[in-house]
Amino acid sequence: MATVEYESPPVPRPNLWALIEPLLPPWPEWSPGPRPVADRLCLQGILYVLCNDIAWQLLPLELGFGSGQTCWRRLERWQQAGVFDQLHRILLSELNAAGELDWSRACVDGSHIRAKKGGADTGPSPVDRRKTGSKHHLICDGRGTPLKVITTAANVNDVTQTLALVDGIPPVAGRPGRPRRRPEALLGDKGYDSNPIREELRKRRILPVISCKGAPNIKDLGKLRYVVEQTFALLHHFKRLAVRWERRTELHDAFISLACSLICWRRLKKLSP
């Protein structure tokens, strides 16, 4: 009689809070004042602001998140502790372990946003009648997973951030061997045309696939680069990122890192049983 082999059921992935909770800095055992609002409730308040672009002072108290000032200070504290960057790196490693990161190529591009209150890393936008704005510089893998985002003033040229994006990719574990940090090729439009940049990429063993100004576009380059535009659409679907309200760049970057983590988390959920 033939034997039937049964495969072990896949292990379900932990929920998002289970990944975030160990990264949060602990509160001191004794501190003056009332008992602080639970970290999980504050995180829910931060996510509410990220998704709905509501002012901190208008955060509904009846939802139990605490005041907007409480959530804002918790966001600041967690960003200083590097919580959101660590979470993004962990989720990238999970995707890499599942074979969902395409290291054969990476794509770079920039996108302008309005900066309503000004602040650091803002400037006259060349695409919005010189109104105050910022620019998101993004590098993603061949499947559109965000690897690194940098915020600059709106009048900063894309090419100046190329190497910062490449070098800013965090070490991604999840596979045998050393953590991966470099794609095999980098795809960019004519805004990234620079021979010194090409030389620096080759020194990093990255093949530059960048169109030259005054020459026809590289054939089928647009078909490979569309994923970066798709990733920008996913990022700016979080309404807090479509318009910049934070005067301090580190707080705006905290929202960006959290949004990148959520994009990675959603892709992981599609793989879960």
Same domain, residue pair 230 and 262: yes
Domain range for residue 213?
83-271
190 in the same domain as 96: yes
pLDDT for position 220: 65
Domain count within the chain: 2
| Residue ending a domain, choose from 15, 48, 81 | 81
Among 57, 81, 105, the domain boundary falls at: 81
Helix (H) or strand (E) holding 203: helix 195-203
Q: How far apart are CA 34 and CA 239, in angstroms?
A: 33
Q: Is residue 3 part of a domain?
A: no
Is residue 42 domain-shared with residue 132, that is, in the same domain? no
Residue 92: predicted pLDDT: 96
116 domain residue, yes or no: yes
Indicate if the pLDDT at residue 66 is higher than 90: no
44: in domain? yes
| Separation CA 222–CA 270 (nearest Å) | 27
Q: What is the mean pLDDT of the chain?
A: 88
The answer to whether residues 195 and 107 belong to one domain is: yes
User: What is the DSSP annotation of 123-162?
Assistant: EE-TTTTT-EEEEEEEEEETT--EEEEEEEETTS-GGGGH
Q: Which among 86, 91, 37 is positioned nearest to 65, based on CA atoms?
A: 37
For residues 234 and 99, membership in a common domain is answered with: yes
| Res 35: pLDDT | 73
Q: Are residues 157 and 252 in the same domain?
A: yes
Q: Is 40 found in the same domain as 124?
A: no
Region of poorest pLDDT, from 6-20, 101-115, 174-188: 6-20
Q: Specify if 239 maps to a domain.
A: yes
Residue 9 lies in a domain: no
- β-partners of residue 136 are 111, 151
Rounded to whole angstroms, the Cα distance separating 263 from 41 reads 21
Predicted confidence at residue 49, as pLDDT, reads 94
Give the position of tokens 């990429």: 201
State residue 234's pLDDT score.
Answer: 95
The mean per-residue pLDDT over the stretch 174-195 comes to: 91
Report if residue 26 sits inside a domain: no
Clarify whether residues 40 and 150 are in a common domain.
Answer: no
**24, part of any domain:** no
Q: Which residues contact 190 (CB under 8 A, 6 or more apart)?
A: 210, 211, 212, 213, 217
Residue 29 has pLDDT above 60, yes or no: yes
Q: What is the spatial distance between Cα 67 and Cα 273, in angstroms, rounded to a whole number?
A: 37
Asked whether 230 and 237 are in contact (CB, 8 A), the reply is no
Q: What is the pLDDT of residue 273?
A: 62
Q: What is the pLDDT of residues 119-168, one digit of tens each?
A: 999 999 998 888 999 999 999 999 999 999 999 999 999 999 999 999 99
Q: Verify that 72 and 175 share a domain, yes or no.
A: no
Q: Kindly state the tokens that stand for 14.
A: 């932990």
Lowest mean pLDDT among 22-31, 106-115, 132-141, 213-222: 213-222
Question: Could you tell me if 93 and 222 lie in one domain?
Answer: yes
Does 125 lie in the same domain as 51? no
Residue 243, domain CATH: 3.30.420.10
Q: CB within 8 A of 80, min separation 6: which ones?
A: 250
4 pLDDT above the threshold of 50: no
Do residues 172 and 44 share a domain?
no
pLDDT tens for 192-225 read 999 999 999 999 999 998 888 877 666 667 777 8
